[in-house]
Structure 1
Amino acid sequence: MTTPPTRTGRGRPPRLDPVRTIETALALLDEGGLDALTMRRLADAMGVQAGALYRYFATKEDLLTAMAERILAQVSAPTAEEGGSADWSARLSALARSLRLALLAHRDGARVFAGTHSTGPNTLNLADSGIGILRGAGFDDADAARALLAVVHYTVGHTLEEQAALSPAGEAPAAPEVLREAVTAAGTYPHLTATLPILTSQDHADRFEFGLGLLTRGLLTRA
């Protein structure tokens, strides 16, 4: 947990700034998850009154949007050389992988990002890079935009499920063992039984790559 800052001369609270506020909020997110992150708890961690936070963030949604923008600072858009290939699909896949890793870097990172509408430079760079890759591959403007949305939505949705499965014990929904026991006990679901090793696998990276491959191969038909 972030250590509350010390007070300055004459007992005055330290000067707030949005950067330190976001960093503290992310530290609290990693410590307790999104459900435990409140404006009051954030204010306590910073050693200020809760009302002081509203100077920069009028609502918690505004705070989450700023946090999402900060999370995306870790996303990198590889060039053809950095991606190891001039193939546009390899570069688009690398961008999706980078987004997934950025979201995974913080507890509930995908939940923070989902539904926000940041127009900060990190978010805009991600979108512009992805659309640039697709336009450079020959997609028209409409298809480039739709294709990027499909890849981003897939990545965020997959990571939401991944982070839910990785939640601390007692917080996660049904564990793989619960599914395995239900299917085995019923004995009437032959197709589920045959695929249980995959359905209960915790190799999230493998699942992600499979779906990403389907997406990019599908997009190849429109390139």
Structure 2
Amino acid sequence: MRLLDEGGLRALTLRSVAQQVGVAPASLYSRVESVDDLFDLALDTALADDPVMSESIRNADLPALMHAFFAHLTTHRWAGQVIGMRAPRGPAYLALSERMCVLLEQTGTPDPLGTAYRLSNLVIGASLTAPMASDEKRVAIDPDQAPTYARLHATHHISPRGILSDGITALLS
């Protein structure tokens, strides 16, 4: 995970992992088939090792669980990218998915799985775009090209967490 947290997706290679653990790259092939296996392992390990996520999966209501997931993904910025490439199926992600579906069924949501997907997509997208929020306000919008957007943009307070909260509320209403 450290390689990913420090260097992003490109930093995780069989060679870099072998170097970190002090073995020859070829010896890793007896344990993993490809770098994709390393991504899967890192993704699930990061979630399982996050104490806030573990507690949230056990006890939080759905909005709090989604906010904890957002915080997790913004801490491990590579994780949202990996989820975009590969459906997570490790034990920690299955526990998260199960908890979301259980909570949605308990509230009588007509389509718990579809709503879980929508919530996950919202959180993943929000976490991927959160780092650029400070740039969003600084970049001017040409009012001749997009007058309504420019006017609204000039007065809007951009808060990734606030936008996420509003989205969660809308999806759950």
1:75-114 alignment, distance < 5 Å: 75=53, 76-77=56-57, 79=59, 83=60, 91-114=61-84
Query: Structure 1: any 5+ residue segments left out of the alignment?
Result: 1-25, 84-90, 167-174, 218-223
* TM-score normalised over the length of structure 1: 0.66
Give the aligned partner of residue 176 of structure 1.
136
Q: Who is 1:43 aligned against?
A: 18
Higher helix share: 2
Q: Aligned equivalents of 1:39 and 1:198: distance in 2?
A: 48
Q: Distance in 2 between matches of 1:36 and 1:188?
A: 40
- The more displaced of 143-152 and 190-199 is 190-199
CA gap of 1:48–1:102, structure 2 versus 1, over 3 A, is: same
Is 1:150 equivalent to 2:130 in the alignment? no
Residues 97 and 177 of structure 1: CA distance in aligned 2, closer, same or farther (over 3 Å): closer
Gaps of 5+ in 2: none
Q: Given the alignment, which residue of 64, 87, 102 partners 1:117?
A: 87
Considering only aligned residues, what root-mean-square deviation do their CA atoms show, in Å? 2.3
- Shift of the 49–136 alpha-carbon distance from structure 1 to 2, 3 Å rule, reads same
Task: Compute the TM-score of the two structures, normalised by the length of structure 2.
Answer: 0.83
Does residue 215 in structure 1 map to residue 171 in structure 2?
yes
Structure 1 runs (4+) greater than 4 angstroms displaced: none
Q: 1:176 to 1:139 in 2, by over 3 A?
A: closer
State yes or no: 1:53 paired with 2:9: no
Matched position secondary structure for 1:114 = helix
Equivalent pairs, count: 167
Cα distance in 2 for partners of 1:112, 1:188 equals: 35
Does residue 136 of structure 1 match 2:106? yes
Q: 1:153-180, CA deviations, whole angstroms, 9 ceiling, x for partnerless residues?
A: 11112212224x28xxxxxxxx436741
Percent identity between the two aligned chains: 24
